[in-house]
Chain A
Amino acid sequence: MKRYISAYFTDEENLLRASKTLMEKNISILDVLTPFPVHGLDKVLGLKESNLPTVGFIAGGIGTLLAFGFQTWAFVIDYPLFIGGKPHFSVPAFIPITFEVTVLFAAIAMVFAFLFRSKLGLGAKNKIHDERITDDRFLIIIDAEKEESQFDEVKAILEQESAHDIQLKENN
């Protein structure tokens, strides 16, 4: 069983300000849910930069080597044909395909890495915390296990930061 406080906001300005205050007072924020991306929220919550570009770079590199290597093997070693009087090992002709495969590998690897890390994709259970966060509400979820003793304090802060609604919830 997990206890947490959900605080609802009606616009992103209040949400940003409230998150900043909570972070300054060392109150642990479990998650922030918003209907659209809010600028500056990552910085306020101190989130680390994503590693997704690294995944893309490595997968892209594998794609480059694989495409170039396969074409070299196919056109030079396994089935050499004369095409337009060009040499078998014609780098310029390999480049468009190498480029396409690089992009394909990088893109697909990044999509699957994202789904894997975010626990999304086929067979994943959707946990919509509250229908309203897909519409017009902004939500901060605060861990109430640790903060139980300070519940009133947290509530006071949130009220001061013009939270629209504050609820204490329990979840199995």
Chain B
Amino acid sequence: MDNNYILSRKTKLVFLSISVIGILLIALSFLFEHPESKQVWMNILLNNLFFLFLSLFGALFIALHKIAHSGWHTSLTRIPEALSKFLPYAAVLMFLLIFGMHDLYHWTHHDLHDPIIEGKSAYLNQAFFFIRMAIYFAGWIGLSYLLRRNSVNQDLSDNPKYHKQSKILAALFMAFFAVSSSTMSWDWIMSVDPHWFSTLFGWYVFIGLFVSGIAAFILIIAFLKSQGYIEFVNKEHVHDLGKYLFGFSIFWMYLWYFQYMLIWYSHMPEETIYYAQRINGFPIIFYALLFLNFLFPFLGLMTRNSKRNIKWLAMVAFVVLVGQWLNIYFMLSPGIIGESATVGFIEVGSACLYLGGFLFVVFNALTKKPLLCKNDPFLKESFHYET
């Protein structure tokens, strides 16, 4: 049970080839599609956000279950810990936005003579934007590092004080995340349409983060199990992750629908323009989102057996992951590029490029520590867990 994950040459080659395919697709796109600089920056922001969300989920998962005194997840903690190790890379990639602000965010332009954007300038100005960004990443990276360090220290000693410390850190992370998850979604996503606002936007983005994180978590577990690792993760754990995916897909639809319905119902032009532009310009993506993120996981994971079958669950998780990527695309692209936005080679290519890098970082992080933690007071409970 003390074994580490070994990143084989073959797996490394697969990750590398995913990235190489991505680079080829991007090159093809530059040859034939001639993307504008706006589209290039949109792709960078889109994939930054998507993979940042997956790795933030890692830290969130640990913190959430620590403060809830959960036992069942204890034997799985090393996987979200590995996910959260991508955070520093996500931070570096996010700070690349310094060079792309003009292309991405309309509110950064000078001489707009726009009273609405001027009224928001106390919050929406470039200096404060990057200060906030630095604060978010400092908080997330710092606290997730401390949580990981405590988990390693707990491995080495049977003194439960590290577990107790982790609980305080987890509470701090949750409080910080509660605020920062909302403000980050305003900063990075909602300010793409600077005139428009929605009060539940922060929750909507957050729940997308949670669903995509759960889906990625399930896929990693399915991969590790197919390689013969983590034999201590049994059907009960898989069942619980399936319930998470099922439940939060429904919750995602709930927020998706209520954001839409309230705007549809009140019918105020400054709010409806957001949906008018998106539904009229991109009807296929609009309805595909509902199918991929709600109808498919809702009907596909309804029965008990479908949640306990890891292969089927991984398939559903993959569909949801694509759906959530498309969801972020749908929030960004019509706002940045406008009616002419399409999903072309560059979108698929840059997603592949990021995916290869992300997988390499996460699986490399998995090799560093044993896949099963030790001495955690809840570890026994995790083995005997029954849903």
Q: Which residues of A contact B (CB under 8 A)?
A: 39-40, 49, 53, 57, 84-85, 92-93, 95-96
Question: Given A40-B386, A84-B267, A85-B267, do A92 and B303 touch, yes or no (CB 8 Å)?
Answer: no
Give A84 to B304 CA distance when docked, in angstroms: 44
Q: Which residues in B have their C-beta under 8 angstroms from that of A93? A: 261, 265
Interface string of B96-112 (1 = CB under 8 A from A): 00000000000000000
**Contacting pair B261 A49 (CB below 8 A):** no
Chain A nearest CB from B18 CB (Å) reads: 39
Give A93 to B264 CA distance when docked, in angstroms: 9
**Contacting pair B264 A92 (CB below 8 A):** yes
Q: Which residues of B contact A (CB under 8 A)?
A: 257, 260-261, 264-265, 267, 302-304, 386
**Contacting pair B303 A53 (CB below 8 A):** yes
A-B residue pairs in contact (CB < 8 Å), sample of 6: A57-B302, A84-B265, A85-B267, A92-B260, A93-B261, A96-B261
Q: Which residues in A have their C-beta under 8 angstroms from that of B304? A: 49, 53
Give A72 to B257 CA distance when docked, in angstroms: 20
Give A85 to B304 CA distance when docked, in angstroms: 45
With CB as the reference atom, state the residue of chain B lying closest to A90: B264
Further contacts, 15 of them, CB under 8 A, given A85-B267, A92-B264, A93-B265 = A39-B386, A40-B386, A49-B304, A53-B303, A53-B304, A57-B302, A84-B267, A92-B257, A92-B260, A92-B261, A92-B265, A93-B261, A95-B257, A95-B261, A96-B261
Q: Which residues in B have their C-beta under 8 angstroms from that of A84? A: 265, 267
Give A49 to B305 CA distance when docked, in angstroms: 11
Chain A nearest CB from B309 CB (Å) reads: 15
Give A96 to B265 CA distance when docked, in angstroms: 13
Taking chain B's interface residues, is the majority helix, strand, or loop, or is none over half, making it mixed? Answer: helix
Give A57 to B264 CA distance when docked, in angstroms: 30
Q: Which residues in B have their C-beta under 8 angstroms from that of A92? A: 257, 260-261, 264-265
With CB as the reference atom, state the residue of chain B lying closest to A95: B257
Give A57 to B299 CA distance when docked, in angstroms: 11
With CB as the reference atom, state the residue of chain B lying closest to A54: B303
Give A49 to B257 CA distance when docked, in angstroms: 34
Chain B nearest CB from A38 CB (Å) reads: 11
Chain A nearest CB from B366 CB (Å) reads: 32
Give A57 to B304 CA distance when docked, in angstroms: 13
Give A95 to B264 CA distance when docked, in angstroms: 13
Give A172 to B267 CA distance when docked, in angstroms: 71
Chain B nearest CB from A95 CB (Å) reads: 7
Chain A nearest CB from B236 CB (Å) reads: 11
Give A92 to B261 CA distance when docked, in angstroms: 6
Q: Which residues in A have their C-beta under 8 angstroms from that of B386? A: 39-40
Give A101 to B281 CA distance when docked, in angstroms: 34
Q: Which residues in A have their C-beta under 8 angstroms from that of B260? A: 92
Give A95 to B258 CA distance when docked, in angstroms: 10
Chain B nearest CB from A41 CB (Å) reads: 11
Q: Which 3 A-B pairs have the closest CB atoms?
A: A92-B261, A92-B264, A39-B386
Give A95 to B265 CA distance when docked, in angstroms: 12
Give A92 to B256 CA distance when docked, in angstroms: 12
Q: Which residues in A have their C-beta under 8 angstroms from that of B265? A: 84, 92-93
Q: Which residues in B have their C-beta under 8 angstroms from that of A39? A: 386
Q: Which residues in A have their C-beta under 8 angstroms from that of B261? A: 92-93, 95-96
Q: Which residues in B have their C-beta under 8 angstroms from that of A57? A: 302
Chain B nearest CB from A83 CB (Å) reads: 10
Give A84 to B261 CA distance when docked, in angstroms: 14
Q: Which residues in B have their C-beta under 8 angstroms from that of A85? A: 267
Chain A nearest CB from B257 CB (Å) reads: 7
Give A39 to B385 CA distance when docked, in angstroms: 10
With CB as the reference atom, state the residue of chain B lying closest to A93: B265
Q: Which residues in B have their C-beta under 8 angstroms from that of A40? A: 386
Give A96 to B264 CA distance when docked, in angstroms: 14
With CB as the reference atom, state the residue of chain A lying closest to B258: A96
